[in-house]
Structure 1
């Protein structure tokens, strides 16, 4: 049995240890925050006007308006001879530029290695003096305050966004005012659904209020920027938004309303519940099956809604098997046809939910904080036990 003198010393040492941990905690937290993030490595080819970029072309990456990495191309590529590392937090929106032109955006994934080809258009051979209302193939007039949209976007001076003109059958543009966290609807009614099957695009703006342009490009064929989508293709589309800069990170929960001719379904013996909208993910370079909902029908068309992750390249297709990657975006309008599988986001058991909660707690507090709280709890228990034991004696 320990002597009372030893027990007192033990209690004093324990309390001193707790005090020491409290004093060192700010250092622990600071040390944890000083640990550099694991970068994401990028590499790929660089194209300008469809041709491989000349050596010395500058490729740069930007986060929140700050340049975080820059490199010159060699043999038409970047990130090969010298690694191209981007440091940041998971989910940060990285904007890539080629010289002074916007190329694309990417959401950072720490520790991964990503092949990301960059492609900009400097000269599309179009007469820039063309009036805005006729400068686009069938485009609808936009508001006066974005009169520079043509030069800024479709000349390639600001963005990779626009599809190559030689693959655009029809380009419709709608301008509107969006409010933060409010739904905005862009209705495309200039042409019949024979020409543009995308009838309406709904978005929710997050962190932005002001003018925003929505563009629907009906494509003649599969874009050179994507792979060939699976399934029986009805129509290829490219849908994107613009407010003077890249807005991908400002748009959430897009819903695309589209129509398909009944005659096409009859010709290929297709049922309405086999119609899906596929969206192209430029990060994984894969087509993703959106949650597609049958809405209604009229004399000549079936009408559908699709909830998508982001605005991108799309393909309206028929699929008779669920063999493609499903998105988990939810939609709460219209009615599903009987054979459409509703996406189930529930957990198989409570343990999965608890694991997620623990993981979220660790990420929110930080690993150093978890260690500190664990040691403090253990020492506190020992101190209380020692004190109680002394009282019992």
Structure 2
């Protein structure tokens, strides 16, 4: 499916192709049955409906779906009830779809109406955004390999100003496990300072890189090597005002910025990535104000109920920022944090002090034992001498 931004909308359009007979009408219409509303960060499934098939049976359907890419991100396409058992073929772009069957028993018969395929979207737009959705470049063929035309119906999707919060089970697929990145994440709307989303092409063996340059986000890059040919992958980042609602405790140390990072979609997940690396920056002013060393900054990741400090190193600096890179095994809630060195020094000092006290106590006990032994020995000698003197006096008498 070819994706284009929409500047003009229309309700119906008749599609023709050089291979089609000018007079052959394959159905009354194809498209959406109604308008839709969705919330920010929501997921949305839209069925594409064919009405009143004619000159069938139909065995091949091709089309492009047009909509505004800045408002919606297409996760996947699946067969509908009228194409159950058909084959879906995709090209280099996951949106280029052909539905076909060679089994005449499941071809779409004349006068049939229903769902021919389903579109699964993530909402990437903001409240107040709207987009038209309609199929274009429709090519339908019947079992006699004759091609014809069909009306395309145009509907819209409007984005509301609410955020859908899924159940704990729903959010774990995107959050705690570190996978996913599509749809509502479960983060509290009031805790989100800003949201950033990008889409990139992915191909097996190639490096994928997302770059962020906005002032309100200190995440700079996300990169990995793709192990799969899935066409496209999306990254979604939520810059948070405070600790993520998806975690049970705050990150260790002095937190600089809390983030939720999701990378991938239904067709492309962490199993399709190799060597993920996150690049970020930390303000030199913040480091100075909080009296921390640049080397004490780490990226912390929350996964499986606990925070983990990821391998992090300073790779560069400029006038205002130190630049870092950190290796991560997956994506979920994160925190850029500084681990104070004095905390570690204090812990070491306490341990040393305890060990010193124990040694002194042990030495004192041993000295007392020796003293008691010495006193007891001296008393015994004096007693013996006294007894001998008494015996000597008795003998003299």
* TM-score, normalization by structure 1: 0.41
Q: Which has the higher strand share?
A: 2
* TM-score, normalization by structure 2: 0.41
Report the structure number with the largest CA radius of gyration: 2
| Greater RCO structure (CA 8 Å; 6+ sep) | 2
Q: Which has the higher helix share?
A: 1
